Amino acid sequence: MDERLCNPVSTAELERRWAAARSYMRDANIEALVVQGSNGYAGTAGYYRWLTGMPSVNSYPHTAILPRDALMTLLQQGDRGGEKILDGTVPEFRGVGRRLSTPSFPAIEYCSGYDAEIVAAEITGNRYRNVGLVGAFAMYHGFASRLRELLSGVTLVDATQAVDDMKAIKSEEDIAYIRRTAAMQDEVMSKVGRHVRPGMRDFEVTAYGQYLGQLGGSEAGYFLANSAPPGKPTMLRHRPYQGRVIRDGDVFMYQAENTGPGGFFVHLGRIFVLGKAPQALVDAFGAMLEAQRYTVGLLEPGASCRDIFAQYNGYMRARGLPEERRVYCHGQGYEVVERPLIRDDESMTIAANMNIGIHPSLSNDRMFVTVCDNFLTHADGTVERLHKTPQTIVEL
């Protein structure tokens, strides 16, 4: 394996994924799958990485065609008309037979059809009549709309659900990487707790966490944070909004949402107080911790995500706590949020070997409180907390 590749997925694991995808394709009479990824650093493009083993590290479109009976074709940003013939064994491009390129850029409107024209030519040139699109919601509109125009004589089906079913259940190799990611975030959280102090700006703390994460194998993702005096909410904020100076007595909310070795996401969030935590904050944190534990008890194999959501909201109503209206519990993998969602619009059921993040929250004009950890479901019905960071408010 090329030493330049940081924590690459094994060839055996890629072959397992391809075999599962091609088995579905045979059953569904699909001759090829098309998947596109971009902005992998921000926590998207998981379908592309799951099928190819490669991250899409920037905003440029990365497109893969997975035939049922041949090596993959990749289309990436590069020289106009670029083509390289491969044999499927190149470490960076395993399973790839042809690597094509075109100089398209998302911010250049007149380039919007370039990639679609090349992919359409590949599909028609191989006389594929039934093609599955995977994750069309994550494709660039210019690409997807133009592709449909060019393939008006080809049957295009949505193959996303089938791939979701495959990638929601993690393999042994996936789980090993996910455990390493949780351990990395535990170490980051521990060191951040010893690092934060009055006079620092919020972004200085998240920058330190990002530095530690990179040394621990992180490739992508982000860190959320916010500080405020007691009695003011600390809603999680991204880097452009982390300019506040931390002061004595402040509440500081910190959440790691970065990948670990291998590119998998988990997330870990805790509250720090630079002094004594107000009792109201302690009580609210305890309520969210109990809500998280209640949810853990519902994550049994075969359980309906819709039913879990209804039970959770019933639990919250009975205690005078706010019902969930966004997403407080969801799968993670190569994407920061992926299926299953614990929500009323989710058709999936819980299964063993799912990587589930749970972060119930309470927000009002006086505080924002959450506790965020990841969990692994097991076939015997037990649920393992992957993070080992103590579930407490940290007083500094």
CB contact at 8 A, 371 and 168 = no
The CATH architecture annotation of domain 11-167 reads 3-Layer(aba) Sandwich (3.40)
User: What pLDDT, on the 0 to 100 scale, is given for residue 348?
Assistant: 98
Predicted confidence band of residue 61 (pLDDT cuts 50, 70, 90): very high
Domain pair 11-167 / 172-395, same fold: no
User: What pLDDT, on the 0 to 100 scale, is given for residue 232?
Assistant: 97
Q: How many CB atoms lie within 10 A of CB 183?
A: 18
Integer Cα distance of 239 and 108 in angstroms: 27
Residue 156, beta-bridge partner list: 131
pLDDT digits (tens, 9 = 90+) for 366-395: 999 999 999 999 999 999 999 999 999 999
pLDDT digits (tens, 9 = 90+) for 191-212: 999 999 999 999 999 999 999 9
> In the predicted model, what is the mean pLDDT of the chain?
97
Higher-pLDDT residue of 2, 285: 285
Predicted confidence band of residue 286 (pLDDT cuts 50, 70, 90): very high
With H, G, I as helix, E, B as strand and everything else as coil, classify residue 218: coil
Q: What's the whole-number mean pLDDT along residues 15-37? A: 99
What's the CATH number for 172-395? Answer: 3.90.230.10
pLDDT digits (tens, 9 = 90+) for 298-325: 999 999 999 999 999 999 999 999 999 9
User: What pLDDT, on the 0 to 100 scale, is given for residue 44?
Assistant: 85
The full set of domain ranges for the chain reads 11-167, 172-395
| Token pair of 236 as six digits | 């999680």
User: 93-107 as b/e, with b when 16 or more CB fall inside 10 Å?
Assistant: bbbbbbbbbbebebe
Query: Which pairs count as long-range contacts for 190-197, CB under 8 Å and 24+ apart, including other chains?
Result: 190/389, 192/254, 193/270, 193/272, 193/394, 193/396, 196/246, 196/252, 196/254, 196/272, 196/274, 196/396, 197/246, 197/274, 197/396
Side by side, the strands of the sheet bearing 130-134 are 82-85, 96-102, 72-77, 62-67, 32-37, 130-134, 155-158
Q: What's the whole-number mean pLDDT along residues 277-305? A: 99
- pLDDT of residue 42 exceeding 90: no
